[in-house]
């Protein structure tokens, strides 16, 4: 094997490994198993674009040096990266869910935990439950609404509110119940 072919082979192997690792990172970020921060989908999209651009750059090098196998390999690698990323994100989204029930309380109860926007940013399950009530149930005239949330977020929110509580959020009062 000549030196140039060996260098090319190692270069493509490096692209495959780095691209695969970045695609895995993107998939884990999309499935929310790696980080729990606002904007993780934006970070994942940026990483995916970086992977595709790196592969395209290597494909352009192949076009410039008139290596059709390099171009075909680059296009195949892009398809594989996108598929791999989508598979990881889809697999991560199929986690177990639990239900949270939000009940609107008319008037002002005696003892209520005050929730702020920062609390809801920190506890996405609570944000999902309250937003679901406000967007879907309240306009329909319902006073109670149940929504399914990922089990991990359910457990964090349940621990935060000690199993269930009356909360105040923007001058409205809700009873939050954690179901099965």
Residue 34 has pLDDT above 50, yes or no: no
Q: How confident is the model at residue 44 (pLDDT cuts 50, 70, 90)?
A: low
Alpha-carbon distance 156 to 84, whole Å?
30
Structure token digits, residue 33: 């198993």
Alpha-carbon distance 6 to 95, whole Å?
43
What pLDDT does 33 receive? 46
Residue 113 has pLDDT above 70, yes or no: yes
Alpha-carbon distance 133 to 155, whole Å?
20
Which tens digits make up the pLDDT trace of 53-96?
776 776 676 667 666 666 667 666 776 666 666 666 665 555 57
What pLDDT does 149 receive? 86
Q: How much is the mean pLDDT over the chain?
A: 74
DSSP string, 40-92: HHHHHHHHHHHHHHHHHHHHHHHHHTT-HHHHHHHHHHHHHHHHHHHHHHHHH
Alpha-carbon distance 100 to 148, whole Å?
6
């Amino acid at each position: 094997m000549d030196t140039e072919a060996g260098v090319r082979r190692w270069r493509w192997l490096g692209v495959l490994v780095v691209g695969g690792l970045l695609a895995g990172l993107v998939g884990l970020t999309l499935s929310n198993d790696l980080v729990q921060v606002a904007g993780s989908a934006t970070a994942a999209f940026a990483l995916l674009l970086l992977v595709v651009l790196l592969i395209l750059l290597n494909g352009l090098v192949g076009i410039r040096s008139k290596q059709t196998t390099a171009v075909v390999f680059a296009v195949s690698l892009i398809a594989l990266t996108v598929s791999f990323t989508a598979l990881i994100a889809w697999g991560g989204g199929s986690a177990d869910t639990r239900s949270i029930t939000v009940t609107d309380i008319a008037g002002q109860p005696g003892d209520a935990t005050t929730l702020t926007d920062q609390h809801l940013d920190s506890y996405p399950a609570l944000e999902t439950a309250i937003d679901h009530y406000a967007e879907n149930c309240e306009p329909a005239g319902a006073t109670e609404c149940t929504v399914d949330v990922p089990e991990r977020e359910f457990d964090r929110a349940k621990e935060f509110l000690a199993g269930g509580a009356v909360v105040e959020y923007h001058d409205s009062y809700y009873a939050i119940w954690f179901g099965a």
